[in-house]
Chains A and B, each alone.
Chain A
Amino acid sequence: MTNDNLIHYIYGIADNSLILGQRISELCGHGPTLETDIALTNIALDLLGQTRSYYKYVAELSPKDISEDDVAFLRTEREYKNVLLVEQPNTDFAYVIVRQYFFDVFHFMLLKELENSKNVNFQAIAKKSLKEVSYHKRFSGDWLKRLGDGTEESKLKAQQAVNDLWVYTDELFHMTANDKKVAEAGYGVDTTTLKVPYYETITALLKEATLDIPDTKYFQKGGKNGIHTEHMGYILSDMQYMQRTYPDMKW
């Protein structure tokens, strides 16, 4: 187990929070109601805060003299290891909620395991984040039920979002060679064990929301190996704009 193994493992976890945080931040001032706008912005803030804790640790582990900002802003697209789900666009409120719920359930289960990591930094970040993610999961789950079991229009849109985003759920449980190595050493999480409880949880909620479970057998993957959808480049150019235009600028 080298520092490099740990750094790459962290990217696989923290990049999800960074990219989803950035995605939801786009909604700041554009939420459908004031309450949902504020809630989503707060969730984005939690995710970015968690990302900071992980990236600070990356900076400590790195042999180079880098800061958390370098990790966030100066990597190229292929170097980001987030799953494809989190980079999907904010098509409409139903997409925002379904994407959030599909991620939150996984995120909660992952952190619950990471809490028992042999690595004290992982333990600390997981314990802290779990408290926040409990609220995220409740927010997105409640809204998904409201949309599914709401009006004809909201049901239609929620079902469309579920059908479209379902293909990105399997990747959450994809383990890279590095993930396996770190999990076997007792530092990381074997996410394959989370797959059954994950699908049980989300199917139960979708049923409660009176939505159909897609029977897709084909799933998209690639993000964990740095192969992203066309949306990723746009997020990065937006997010990295200031650092790329004015290198080393500070607030």
Chain B
Amino acid sequence: MTQEADIDIELYDILKSVPDPEIPVLSIIDLGVVRSAKLLPNHVAKVEITPTYSGCPAMDVIGDDIKTELQNHGYTPQVKLILSPAWTTDWMTEEGKQALKDYGIAPPMDATSDKDALLGNKRVIPCPQCESKNTRLVSQFASTACKAMFKCEDCEETFDYFKCLI
């Protein structure tokens, strides 16, 4: 974990209930895009979020969903988009990784395995359906910028792999 998110306990459960619009099994807290949430005087809740990818089209929706949820709980929301420090898959919680896997998306492996992949070495991404390690990369990019497409040679299913960003 490069940097812990700084989230006030009063706001934690509210933010935890906001799902990622593209992967609804994942809460924005588990995804690691909420970097800080502070309760200020007069019920103002200030939340800082960071995009997974620069062009991530979900960020506007995430911002709006946070505002709505905080308003429903009587807070005046202030949502700010920050770029630094840049998001990394290391910020995804273990609970989040498990939710991804259950959903059929292979969760990001540890940082070194993707570094190997970038250097051209082979990396093994187990199939989220049948656990087989006999898989191959089909495409570096899949349904969204944050995923790559793999195929399992045993159960013959294609599956998404949530790419590591380190």
Decide if A42 touches B144 in the complex (CB within 8 Å): yes
Decide if A45 touches B57 in the complex (CB within 8 Å): yes
> Given contacts A35-B139, A38-B139, are A127 and B53 in contact (CB under 8 A)?
no
> Given contacts A35-B139, A127-B85, are A42 and B118 in contact (CB under 8 A)?
no
Query: Restricting to A114-156, which residues have a CB under 8 Å from any CB of B?
Result: 120, 123-125, 127-129, 131-132, 134-135, 138-139
> Given contacts A45-B55, A50-B55, are A127 and B86 in contact (CB under 8 A)?
yes
> Given contacts A124-B86, A127-B84, are A49 and B142 in contact (CB under 8 A)?
no
**CB-CB nearest in chain B for A34:** B139
The residues of A that contact B86 with a CB separation of less than 8 Å are 124, 127-128, 131
Decide if A53 touches B139 in the complex (CB within 8 Å): no
Decide if B140 touches A48 in the complex (CB within 8 Å): no
The residues of B that contact A49 with a CB separation of less than 8 Å are 51, 53-56
Q: Kindly state whether residue B42 has any CB partner on chain A within 8 Å.
A: no
Decide if B149 touches A35 in the complex (CB within 8 Å): yes
Decide if A38 touches B143 in the complex (CB within 8 Å): yes
The residues of B that contact A47 with a CB separation of less than 8 Å are 55
Q: Which of A53, A120, A123, A139 contacts B54 (CB 8 A)?
A: A53
Q: How far is the CA of A134 from the CA of B57 in the complex (A)?
A: 20
CB distance from A117 to the nearest CB of B (A): 12
Decide if B84 touches A120 in the complex (CB within 8 Å): yes
Decide if B83 touches A124 in the complex (CB within 8 Å): yes
CB distance from A13 to the nearest CB of B (A): 14
Interface size on A, residues (CB 8 A): 27
Q: Kindly state whether residue A46 has any CB partner on chain B within 8 Å.
A: yes
Q: Kindly state whether residue B141 has any CB partner on chain A within 8 Å.
A: yes
Q: How far is the CA of A134 from the CA of B120 in the complex (A)?
A: 12
**CB-CB nearest in chain A for B115:** A134
**CB-CB nearest in chain A for B83:** A124
Q: Which of A39, A48, A129, A134 contacts B118 (CB 8 A)?
A: A134
**CB-CB nearest in chain B for A38:** B141
Interface string of A25-57 (1 = CB under 8 A from B): 000000000011011001101111110110000
CB distance from A38 to the nearest CB of B (A): 6
Decide if A43 touches B141 in the complex (CB within 8 Å): yes
Q: How far is the CA of A45 from the CA of B87 in the complex (A)?
A: 17
CB distance from A88 to the nearest CB of B (A): 22
> Given contacts A46-B145, A138-B140, A139-B141, are A131 and B165 in contact (CB under 8 A)?
yes
The residues of B that contact A42 with a CB separation of less than 8 Å are 141, 144-145
Interface string of A178-193 (1 = CB under 8 A from B): 0000000000000000
> Given contacts A124-B83, A128-B86, are A50 and B54 in contact (CB under 8 A)?
yes
20 more contacts with CB within 8 A, not counting A35-B138, A138-B140, are A35-B139, A35-B141, A38-B143, A39-B140, A45-B145, A46-B53, A46-B54, A46-B55, A46-B145, A49-B55, A49-B56, A123-B84, A124-B84, A127-B85, A128-B54, A129-B54, A135-B140, A135-B141, A135-B163, A139-B140
Interface residues of A (CB under 8 A from B): 35-36, 38-39, 42-43, 45-50, 52-53, 120, 123-125, 127-129, 131-132, 134-135, 138-139
Interface residues of B (CB under 8 A from A): 51, 53-57, 83-87, 118, 138-145, 149, 163, 165-166
Give 5 closest A-B pairs by Cβ, nearest first. A49-B55, A49-B54, A124-B84, A45-B55, A39-B141
